[in-house]
Each structure stands twice: as C-alpha cells, then as structure tokens.
Chain A
Amino acid sequence: MGFIIISLAGFAAPNWGNKVNLEKLAIVPVLLMMVSSLLVLISQNWRRVILALAIQYVGVFWLIALSWPVELAVIKLVVGWVAGAMLGASPPADFLDEQFSSLSGWIFRILAAVLVWILVYTSTPLLANWIPAKPTILWGGLILVAMGLLQLGMTTHPLRVVLGLLTLLSGFEILYATVEVSVLVTGLLAMINLGMALVGSYLVNVESMEQTP
C-alpha cells in the first residue's frame, strides 16, 4: 500500500526525490496522516489499523525527508513498516472496542479528531515561533502527537495503547527532525519504535504464552 502511495506521489511529481518537489507536495503527507491516524483511532479491524499505520509512516518519511537527507529519512519508513509488521504478526484475540463500536461511538471519535485538527491548525503559529520549521511539517507533527494522545486517552487495550504511543512518537520525530540530525539519535529512536512494537505484540499474546516459573 505504502509502495502504491509512493508510486502515485512519484507519478504526480515526476522528479521524485528532488527536495523541491517534495516540498511543493508537502500537504499530501499531512492529509495522508490525518486520514490514517483517524483510521487507527476509529477502525475496529486490526488489519485495517496496521495498514493505516503503514500509510502513516509514509507521511512521516515524507515530512522528515524535508528536513533530513532522504537516505537517513528512509530509516523512519523502514522502521515504521517493520513495527507494523511486528504488530500485524500477532493478531489480538479481542481488538473490538465495544465502547466505541456503535455509531455514536464512531461519531464521537470522529468529532474528537476534528476538534484536535482544529486545535492543531490554530496552535501551529504559536509553535512556529519556537520551532523553526515549515507550517506543513508542524501540522504533520502536531496532528500525529495530538491523535496519539487522543488514542491514549480513549483506550486501555495494550495494542491500541502501543499504536497511540507509536503515533505520538512519530509526530514527535517529525518535529524533532527539524532541530536535530544525529545518527545515534536516529538509531536509538529506531530501536525504541521497534521495541515498542515488540512490547505491543508481546502484551497482546503474553497470556497465551507458555508459563515461566
């Protein structure tokens, strides 16, 4: 899916990889992340959620590529997809969130997400005074941070919590990439993302694992 999106983006911008074009199309990853993070929040189907997470990381890669060299930014994409694969490899027995599976629950979550987007849009100029980055980067980063927090506030399911934390960390990484380029930090953040996914899949399956005395 992510590959298709990258290809489509490449089709839309023939000079794919050229930083200038990535910048011109910077609103695309923001929209991608809005939709994918909303899907992660509302979907009751874990496969769709993992797919949405993979798309989300395409957006993360795109926005980070505006601040970092593409070859370094691509680490975020690879790590994100591996994290998604780790979570996808361990399907949870009870992913359905009964509290929010009804229509009213859906509407509530969507409305909450819309409110978060409005809040992000209005607070971006404030953040721009402090973090020297383009508005699209700030929107993308803040949307993921806010949607991650929203997810964390609405669930107690371990897998959903880990998805919320991964979303939050992705948003932070977009913002942090504008101020810091360090191979060690990139490596450690990659380890944290993978570790988080591993913890998520572990917590989902731990009860059914062989008991240790």
Chain B
Amino acid sequence: MTSPLIWIAFPLLIAVVLWFLQQKTSLAPGLATGLCIILALLAWLVPIGNAIKLGPWPIEIQPALVIFGRRFFLESSDRYFLVLVYGMGAFWFFGTNVAGTNRLFVPIGLAIIALLVAAMAVEPFLYAALLIELAVLLSVPMFVPPGAKSGQGVVRYLIFQTLALPFILLAGWAASGVEANPTDTKLLLQVVILLALGFSFWLAIFPFYTWVPLLSQETHPYVSGFILTLLPTAVLLLMLNFLDNFSWLRSYPLLPQVLRLSGTLMVVTGGIWAAFQTNPLRLAGYAVIMESGFALLAVSLQNRIGLEIFAAAQFPRMLALALWALACSILIKEEPSMDFNGLKGRLHNYPVASSALLLAYFSMAGLPLLAEFSLRLALLVNLAQQSYLVIGWLSIGILGFLLSGFRMLSMFSTSEENTWQVKEKWPQVLLLGIGSMGLFLIGLFPKFFLSNFLALLQIFKHL
C-alpha cells in the first residue's frame, strides 16, 4: 500500500463512483464528506513510511508510487497538507445540500481535490502544472451545469489558467539549466520572469484577475467559493514548494520586492474596486483577490513569522469564504440578482444568513474580534518594520473594502417594515451558526485554534 494510492487514486476512484450516484442527492455528499473525514484522519494519525500495528496486523504505508518513470511522493511531512485539503473537502461537501449546489459538485469536487494532491506529490514537481490544468478543465462543468448558460467569467477563467501552463513548464526546464549553471544570470532572470508570469496567471495576480469577480458573479456562490478557496491554496503551496526546492530562487535579491509589490497591488486595487461594487457575489471575488495579496505579502517577509502567518491564515480564510458562500447560496434563492437594492432589509427576514455574510466579510477585512484580525495585525506590524509606504497603500485597500462592507450592512438592515422573521431552515441556521461562532472563537483564541496549522510548514524543509 502506498500513500499516493490512498490519497490520490482511491478518492479519484470514489469520485467516479459518485458520478454514477449523483442522482442520490443525500448519499453522494454524505459519502464524499465521510471519505474526506476518513482520509484527513488517516493522514493525521497514521505515519507514512513507518510500520504500525493494527491489531495483530502490521501495516506500512510506502511513500512513493512510480508511474511512467515519474514518482508520486507523499511522505510524513506532507500529512498536514493532506489533513488541510481533505478537511477542506469535508467542510465544503458537508454543506452541499444546505447550499443547494448542482449534482456535479460532489463528484467533480472530490476529483479536483485528488488532482491537487497529485499536483503536490508529483516529482519533478513542475509537472504539477499539468495536473492543475486537468483540475481546471474538470471544474468547468461544475461552474456551468447542464441547462445553464456559459458566461464570460468561465471562459476567461479557462483562458487565464491555461496560459499559466506553458510558462510553468518552460520555467521548469530552464530551472534545471540554472541548477546546472547557477552563475548564468541571464538564464536566471528568464526563469524568474517565466515563473512570475505563470504564477500571476494562476493566482490571478494584478492585472490578470478580471475573471475572478466575473466568475463569482456568474456561477453558484458555493461552487465558486470552493474553487476560489482550494485553487489559490494549492497554487500558493506549490509556489512555496518552488522556493523550497530552488535555493537560487530563494536567494534571488528582487524576490521580496516583487512579492511585496504584487501583494500590495492586489490588496490596493482589490480594495478600491470593492468599494464600488453593489453585488456581494462580485465582492467575494475581490475578497479572494485581497486574500491572495495578503498571502503574497506574508511570503514576502521571507522569515519564519511570515510563513507562520501564511499557514495559520489558511483555516480562517477558508471558514470565512465557506460561510460567505453558504450565506449567498441561501440569499440568492430569494434574490437571484444579488444586488444591494434587492437585498434591502434582508436582515429582517433572513437574519442568520445576512449576519453570517456580514461576519464573514468583516472577518476577511480584518476587523477586531473576528478570525483574521490577529493574523492581519501581525502581518501589518511585520511589514511596517520594512516599509511604512506599503502600510499606507494597504490601508487604502482595506478602507475601500470596509467601506463596501458598511454599505452592505446599511442595506441589509434598512427596512420599512419593523417585523422580524427567520426564513432560513434549521440545517441552514445550524451550519451558519456554527460557522459564525467559529469566526468569533478563532478571533478570541487565535493561538489555541491556529497553532496546529503551523505544522503545514513541515513540507518545506529549506524555508
């Protein structure tokens, strides 16, 4: 038994089985959630590469699987990545029925998770680009289910994600040349440019992010929330993998400046554009852009604290986006356009969904007492030690984002009627309530909840 078989091949197989079970709208999400929980627990509890005794039977999970001369390798240090990814999967699949997504979400979603794990496991890891492209192609039917109309957002998403592939593969080839001759500065510059372009397309870095708000607006909020949480997380981890593997890239003198500039541009432009939005779905897109910007800024610190902020931010970010997506999925049934004017007074008849959406929004804005506050504060304090100018620009972006949040709050709470009613169903109230409480609890006890996520950094041995 090998780890890639357990965490890649097996979920892929189950995804195929779930494809045929998609008519069973309760069974498929239940099975996918159960499987993700089991795989996450297995990754957490069972060491890879060491024999353990299961009753009278000794079992050992080997870390490598060889296919066509290339290795898929998941060792013990990758276990926390597996816990994170399959934990995320369980989290999202659990809310499928409550959110009312299309039937393709569960089987395709599970296959995408398995492909992203394969992308992290493949050696040489540059082939990850091919597996991520496969995941992108698989996600299209999830965004545009049968009977729906394909919009510009999906087409642009496909274009931009595909454009990353040639750059990353060519960068991989050129990187091997730099490994052989590290003094070739011309080649080094070419590799850095290729990598920068590849990751810019993948992570929707300024100015390649026009598809993000479009996609969020056009597609089901829960589906876009799932992809926009999972894909940037996988790509950011892959980026750190690059930095971990190539010492010449880590020590490239312009790297921190480039990362800081990209991150700042994303936060500032994302925040300013968010201030002019009147649709919570588009705002989710800008929130994702800002979150990626903050992640790049954390990496740009190039020290242990920056990496810890990056790793710890994964869970609150996912929780806030999931809560937002769930709340939007409930509200969109009543108001398909999801315009601010149409959502006027929703706090009076959808109090739980509206407050969950606002809480998620303000958590991502970094408001005190909410999940991301402590991490945002730590990041800004550390950035301030390097540049006050960056802090000034970031404040403009955050203010723009907050401005839209307060407008949304005002719209949600303004109602001519003074009556209050709870239109949400009890499973919706339960999930939204747990999520909202989670944001508060993480905000109040960040160290207790987030310190476990630092184990994610074990993957990177040289960072």
Answer whether A161 and B130 are a contact pair too, CB < 8 Å, given A195-B138, A207-B148.
no
The answer to whether A165 and B170 touch across the interface, beta carbons within 8 angstroms, is no
Q: Select A165's contact among B69, B150, B158, beta carbons within 8 Å.
A: B158
Cα A104 to Cα B141 with chains together (Å): 37
One digit per residue, 1 when the CB lies within 8 angstroms of any chain A CB and 0 when it does not, for chain B 238-268 equals 0000000000000000000000000000000
A176 to B190: give the CA distance in the assembly, Å: 16
Measured CB to CB, the closest approach of chain A to B12, in angstroms, equals: 13
Alpha-carbon separation in the docked complex, A162 to B130 (Å): 17
Q: Which residues in A have their C-beta under 8 angstroms from that of B170?
A: 175-176
Cβ of B131 and Cβ of A152 under 8 Å apart? no
Report the minimal beta-carbon distance from A202 to chain B, rounded to whole angstroms: 6
Q: Of the candidates A162, A185, A206, which one forms a contact with B144 in the assembled complex, judged by CB atoms under 8 Å apart? A: A206
Contact in complex: B134, A192 (CB < 8 Å) = yes
- A138-170 toward B: CB 8 Å interface, digit per residue (1/0)? 000000010000001000101001100100110
Residue tally, chain B, CB below 8 Å to A = 39
Within the assembled complex, what's the spacing in Å between the Cα atoms of A98 and B46? 61
Minimum Cβ distance to chain B for residue A191 (Å): 6
Say yes or no: A210 contacts B147, CB within 8 Å.
yes
Q: How far is the CB of B186 from chain A (nearest CB, A)?
A: 9
Residues of A close to B169: CB separation below 8 A: 172, 176, 180, 185
Residues from chain B with a CB closer than 8 A to the CB of A152 are 159
CA distance A82 to B252 in the complex (A): 44
Which residue among A145, A185, A187, A199 has the maximum number of chain B CB atoms within 10 Å of its CB?
Answer: A199
Q: Does B404 touch A at the CB level, under 8 Å?
A: no
Query: Which residues in window 171-213 of A have CB below 8 A to B?
Result: 172, 175-176, 179-180, 182-185, 187-189, 191-192, 195-196, 198-199, 202-203, 206-207, 209-213
A182 near B146 (CB under 8 angstroms)? Answer: no
Give 1 or 0 for each of B63-97: 1 = CB within 8 Å of chain A CB: 00001111000000000000000000000000000
Task: For A168, list chain B residues within 8 Å (CB).
Answer: 162-163, 166
The verdict on A192 contacting B190 (CB below 8 Å), with A207-B147, A207-B150 known, is no
- Check B162 against A206 for contact (C-beta < 8 Å): no
Q: Cβ of A130 < 8 Å from any Cβ of B?
A: yes
**Neighbouring A residues of B309 by C-beta, 8 Å:** none
Task: Out of A145, A179, A189, A210, name the residue touching B130 (CB < 8 Å).
Answer: A189
Please give the distance in Å from A161's CB to the nearest CB on chain B. 5
Interface of A is mostly: helix
Q: Within the complex, what minimum Cβ distance (angstroms) separates B132 from chain A?
A: 10
Chain A residue nearest in CB terms to B190: A130
Cβ–Cβ contact A210 & B146, under 8 A: yes
With contacts A188-B130, A189-B130, A195-B138 taken as known, whether A203 is within 8 angstroms of B145 at the C-beta atoms is no
Partner of A212, one of B102, B134, B149, B165: B102
CB distance from B195 to the nearest CB of A (A): 15
A184 and B147 contact, CB distance less than 8 A: no
- The answer to whether B104 and A199 have CB atoms under 8 Å apart is no
> Is B155 a contact partner of A184 (Cβ separation < 8 A)?
no
Question: How far, in Å, is A116 (CB) from chain B's closest CB?
Answer: 17
Q: How many Å from the CB of B218 to the closest CB on chain A?
A: 13
Residues of B within 8 A of A203 (CB): 140, 144, 150, 154-155
B120-154 Cβ-contact flags toward A at 8 Å (1 or 0):
00000001001101100110110011111110101
What separation, in Å, do the CA atoms of A175 and B169 have in the docked complex?
Answer: 11
Residues of B within 8 A of A179 (CB): 173
A212/B147 in contact, CB under 8 A:
yes
In the complex where A180-B173, A188-B130 touch, is A199 in contact with B140 (Cβ < 8 A)?
A: yes
Closest to A173 in B: B166
Bound complex: CA A165 to CA B165 (Å): 11
Instruction: Check B376 for interface membership: any CB of A closer than 8 A.
Output: no
Bound together, the chains give a CA A184 to CA B159 distance in angstroms of: 24
B190–A158 CB distance below 8 A: no
Out of B103, B131, B140, B144, which one reaches A188, CB within 8 Å?
B131
A187 to chain B: closest residue by CB:
B68
Which residue on chain B has the smallest CB distance to residue A208? B147
**Contacting residues, chain A, for B130 (C-beta < 8 A):** 185, 188-189, 192
Contacts of B69 in A (CB 8 A): 182-184
Residues of B within 8 A of A158 (CB): 150, 155
CB<8 Å pairs between A and B, sample of 7: A156-B155, A158-B155, A172-B169, A182-B68, A192-B137, A206-B141, A212-B103
Binding site for A on B (CB under 8 A): 22, 25, 67-70, 102-104, 127, 130-131, 133-134, 137-138, 140-141, 144-150, 152, 154-155, 158-159, 162-163, 165-166, 169-170, 173-174, 190
Interfacial residues, chain A to chain B (CB-CB below 8 A):
130, 145, 152, 156, 158, 161-162, 165, 168-169, 172, 175-176, 179-180, 182-185, 187-189, 191-192, 195-196, 198-199, 202-203, 206-207, 209-213
Q: A185-B127, A185-B169 are in contact. List 6 more A-B contacts (CB 8 A).
A: A156-B152, A158-B155, A180-B169, A188-B130, A199-B158, A209-B147
Which 7 A-B pairs have CB atoms at the shortest separation, nearest pair first?
A211-B147, A209-B146, A188-B130, A195-B137, A184-B68, A172-B166, A183-B68
